[in-house]
Chain A
Amino acid sequence: MDLDKFKVHGEPLIYGAMVSIALATIGILVGLTYFKKWGYLWREWLTTVDHKKIGVMYILAALLMLFRGGVDAIMMRLQTAAPEMKFLDAQHYNEVFTTHGLIMILFMAMPFIIGLMNVIIPLQIGARDVAFPRLNAVSFWLFFMGAMLLNISFVIGGSPDAGWSAYFPLASLEFSPTVGNNYYSLALQISGIGTLITGVNFIVTILKMRAPGMTLMKMPMFTWSVLITNVIIVFAFPVLTVALALMMFDRLFGSQFFTMANGGMDMLWANLFWVWGHPEVYIVILPAFGIYSEIIATFSKKNLYGYTSMVFSMVIISLLSFLVWAHHFYTMGQGVMVNSFFSITTMAIAVPTGVKIFNWLFTLRKGRITFTTPMLYTLAFIPIFTIGGVTGVMLAMASADYQYHNTMFLVAHFHYVLIPGAVFAVIAGFHYWFPKVFGFRLNERLGKHAFWWIIISFNVTFFPLFFLGLMGMTRRMYTYSEESGFGPLNMLSFVGAVGLAIGFVILVYNIYWSTRYMPRDTTSDPWDGRTLEWATPSPIPAYNFAVVPNVKTRDAFWAAKQDNVPLFEDKITKIHLPNNTGKPFILGVIFFFLGFFLVFSMWIPAIVAGVGVIIMLAAMSFDRDHGFYVPAEEVIATEKKLRGETV
């Protein structure tokens, strides 16, 4: 075997990363052993099937990935900060922008949203769990192992370097001969399967496990947005599965799908990728809309304005999201009629999105607004996202796009959409739901500091890119000459990126500080919330609701508080819960090795791992686990304790 394949050559930065990864790993292993936490880690986290804990793990992983993608971002902005920079070489720059895009979309934004979804959805619909708790653990471990597989690529074998969209023929073996794009196909495949399972799981959870009385049109808006998102996942992710499989066949087995000769067709990749890739944008953005709707209603003390139109606009967005994919390659010669069709469908998305913006504004109107940290992010989202939306309509015009295509204008546009549309939303949701999960609030003062750093720096970073794009600076070029005149604006953008990093550091520090010093919350309803998740004690007991609530109106908890509509009418009885299981974790680890062996074309170990996967699936099928019951007395005692009463 050729050990040389595993090595990454010649980059001091990468050697530094290797050393720090090794040190961090050793540190974690030593720390776990020293504090005797192995058993705790295994029992409480690695084997858990509790949707709240799985959600917390998703969010932790997403925060880690935010850090990694953020380092990539800083490196890119530094490399382009001044003309003729020599910080990164061209190959390394290619790898950095590729993994930045992949990680931020697939391993930061999506898991963060899926994490919030895991924690909150069963609570919001008054359910005790998701429909398939063990499958939920499988989803998480597949996502996590896929993410790890992509992350080791830059120290073992080399990262993908053909852009996050991996266009062929650039991503083919001929033009991208390192194993980087093998990692791309396998890491995304493994975590994508996990996402698809999540999609199925949450569709069933939301449609079948709502509390009695909660009709579809009484569901909280976040639940609605998650339902629609999961429908998009179920229809879009199989396309990615196929595309990645074909990519793998082309690169590992020499098939001719995307080649330039022998009957292959490189444009087929672009089409398949974006048939998944465009709906993916809405997979990360629709839940964000749901989060904002909850926060605006809560902190304006008003019902969400235009609930029905909100739901319909999301349904329309989800349908249109499948009809716009070709706007990603207007300039690749597909003819006037095709461009016109996709131009019109793309612009049409602005209409339902505009409806939502106006609904939020009308919710704010005459509301009693409190400016908490989550509310600040929400209020900042509206104008910034609108700038992103308007520039999106500019890009949607096929003829004009011949000017903007592949320039920094595009980069500015999608950061103006995705950062307020996804990142601000998950941060807002994180601050908003944090006390529900952990039983104390994050510090507001630190939260607001981080907010101002992030909001101002965001605009300093990305607004100059609009002008750079219009000046003709193409994206993905690793350096430029001084005569181009791109220098000053790029420097400004770099300064903004540093500010953003400071903002995120304050945010993380806030988590640390609040964990140590913030007073514990005994009310379980710190924001005066409206939906059912605030009706459980904080931190939430394993069974969520001691008594399943009876829902009569929208915002049922608000109605219970304001108008004394009774919520919990039944008696406490014994509660059935599933047992923990280590099998999903083991399955994930085997998938990790399967992916790794395939990346390096190590066939015999790969076959062994493949057999291992089948054995694990069989083991899960043969498992006769009926779970256990929490006795009624124990439920009553737990409830009293969590509500601060003496037993």
Chain B
Amino acid sequence: MKIDASKPLEYSTEENSNKIFGFWVFLGAEIPLFATLFTVYFVMVNRFASGPSGKELFEIGPVLMETFLLLTSSFTIGLAIHAMRHGYKKAMMFFMGITLLMGLGFIGIEIDEFFTYVHEGATLQTSGFLSSLFVLLGTHGAHVSFGFLWGAGIMIQLWRQGITPATANKAFIFSLFWHFLDVVWIFIFSFVYLKGMM
């Protein structure tokens, strides 16, 4: 495997730069995926049937907490990649760990939120609105959960192998994924929660 020292480690082989480009293409596919889910949500947003509306359900407190956790974790994964570029393995592992813990916090709050909704009688089966809400939030949440497992796997490899072209590549791609989830969340925060509470 030829290593090009003039490039950052994560781009340093042909395979690595192909993987990063491939992941961008994959994120290109994630855009229509979430765009479709948002479209379904907007079609369904006023179809409450006999169930509660968003205005009755949404609470700003937990949602702000989720937003804070996810946005901050996007910053810390950036710090992790910054540490990686300087070859600081420990700092990189530290920031990745913080990122994943915040992701876990986010998932915890979301699960609690779902339990609250169900407890209030707002289930997946209640109305078109709630079906689309649960599936949109759930898909994003499933991405974060998957990201947690993925990131943990990369941390184990980093811990064992150190910062190599392979692990640096994986961590960088993971950071792209994590930032993307952040962007999706900003849309959910604005157009689902804030708009729903108006």
- Chain B residue numbers with a CB within 8 Å of A201 are 22
**Chain A nearest CB: distance from B3 CB in Å?**
13
Assess A131 versus B22: contact at CB under 8 Å? Given A264-B47, A622-B157: yes
- Chain B residue numbers with a CB within 8 Å of A254 are 124-125
A204 at the interface (CB under 8 A from B): yes
Residue-wise, chain A 223-243 has the 8 Å CB interface mask toward B (1 for contact) of 000000000001111110111
Asked if A263 contacts B44 (CB within 8 A), the reply is: yes
* Nearest B-chain residue to A243, judged by Cβ: B36
- Chain B residue numbers with a CB within 8 Å of A241 are 33
**How distant is the Cα of A311 from the Cα of B26 in the complex, in angstroms?**
24
Q: With A242-B36, A262-B50 given, can you name 4 additional A-B contacts, CB distance below 8 Å?
A: A132-B22, A208-B17, A208-B21, A256-B126
Asked if B49 contacts A262 (CB within 8 A), the reply is: yes
5 closest Cβ contacts across the A-B interface?
Answer: A263-B128, A263-B47, A238-B33, A255-B131, A263-B49
A261 at the interface (CB under 8 A from B): yes
**How distant is the Cα of A243 from the Cα of B36 in the complex, in angstroms?**
9
Most chain B beta-carbon contacts within 10 A, residue among A196, A200, A243, A261: A200
Asked if A242 contacts B33 (CB within 8 A), the reply is: yes
* Nearest A-chain residue to B154, judged by Cβ: A621
Asked if B32 contacts A238 (CB within 8 A), the reply is: yes
B5 at the interface (CB under 8 A from A): no
What number of A residues sit within 8 Å (CB to CB) of B? 44
- Residues of chain B at the chain A interface (Cβ within 8 Å): 1, 17-19, 21-22, 25-26, 28-33, 36-37, 40, 43-44, 47-51, 124-132, 134-135, 139, 149-150, 153-154, 156-157, 161, 166, 170
**How distant is the Cα of A275 from the Cα of B153 in the complex, in angstroms?**
36
**How distant is the Cα of A268 from the Cα of B128 in the complex, in angstroms?**
11
- Chain B residue numbers with a CB within 8 Å of A626 are 1
Asked if A249 contacts B40 (CB within 8 A), the reply is: no
Contacting A246 at CB < 8 Å: which of B25, B40, B166?
Answer: B40
Asked if A256 contacts B131 (CB within 8 A), the reply is: yes
5 residue pairs bridging A and B, Cβ less than 8 Å apart = A132-B18, A204-B21, A254-B124, A264-B131, A618-B153
Contacting B40 at CB < 8 Å: which of A132, A242, A263, A621?
Answer: A242
**How distant is the Cα of A254 from the Cα of B124 in the complex, in angstroms?**
8
A555-595 interface (Cβ within 8 A of B)? 576
A379 at the interface (CB under 8 A from B): no
Asked if A235 contacts B32 (CB within 8 A), the reply is: yes
Asked if A262 contacts B1 (CB within 8 A), the reply is: no
A5-50 interface (Cβ within 8 A of B)? none
Residue-wise, chain A 110-135 has the 8 Å CB interface mask toward B (1 for contact) of 00000000000000000000011000
**Chain B nearest CB: distance from A121 CB in Å?**
15
- Chain A residue numbers with a CB within 8 Å of B124 are 249, 253-255
* Nearest B-chain residue to A258, judged by Cβ: B128
**Chain A nearest CB: distance from B172 CB in Å?**
14
**Chain B nearest CB: distance from A426 CB in Å?**
25
Asked if A204 contacts B25 (CB within 8 A), the reply is: yes
A632 at the interface (CB under 8 A from B): no
**How distant is the Cα of A201 from the Cα of B19 in the complex, in angstroms?**
10
Residue-wise, chain A 428-465 has the 8 Å CB interface mask toward B (1 for contact) of 00000000000000000000000000000000000000
